[in-house]
Amino acid sequence: MPYTNPYPDPALQEVTARNRTARQLVNAFSSSTPTLADIWQHVSTALDDTLTLVAQISRLHAELARNRRRYADLMAAARATLAAHHDGESDPLYYLRDELTAQRADNPKPGDEAW
């Protein structure tokens, strides 16, 4: 059964486009009513936060995709290890060691040299 994400991805391009439109409106209102410029500055600051959140969501989405792929690769290696053991191969753990080595090479951490 394939994994289905219970949280649909937000339409980040649409969010960014709406943010751009809102910024244009804030600039127009701020220019037309200089006495309220300070108030409109608060709205502009909130719009800045939206762009920061969009960037963070994009980064987290990419990280989640990488982690899902790594998990799927580990599961495949575990299944191959079990099948190799069942078939009586001389080194069934080869598949798991190989995948762990590949993942470590893709994402080195301090102290990994000991492996």
pLDDT over 80 at 54, yes or no: yes
Contacts 24+ apart (CB under 8 A), 109-115: none
Domain assignment present for residue 49? The answer is yes
Domain assignment present for residue 84? The answer is yes
Sign of CA dihedral 15, 18, 22, 23: positive
The whole-angstrom separation of Cα 6 and Cα 78 is 26
Which position has the higher pLDDT, 40 or 81? Answer: 81
Nearest to 84 by CA among 74, 73, 93: 93
Domain assignment present for residue 1? The answer is no
pLDDT over 90 at 86, yes or no: yes
> pLDDT tens-digit profile of 88-107?
999 999 999 999 999 998 87
Domain assignment present for residue 4? The answer is no
Domain assignment present for residue 7? The answer is no
Domain assignment present for residue 93? The answer is yes
Domain assignment present for residue 3? The answer is no
pLDDT over 80 at 112, yes or no: no
CA angle at residue 71 from 112 to 77, to 5 degrees? 80
Domain assignment present for residue 75? The answer is yes
- Domain interval for residue 76: 12-114
What pTM did the predictor assign? 0.66
Structurally, how many domains does the chain consist of?
1
DSSP per-residue letters across 50-99: HHHHHHHHHHHHHHHHHHHHHHHHHHHHHHHHHHHHHTT-S-TTHHHHHH
Least confident of 3-7, 26-30, 72-76, 108-112: 3-7
> pLDDT tens-digit profile of 4-53?
666 666 688 888 999 999 999 998 998 888 888 888 889 999 999 999 99
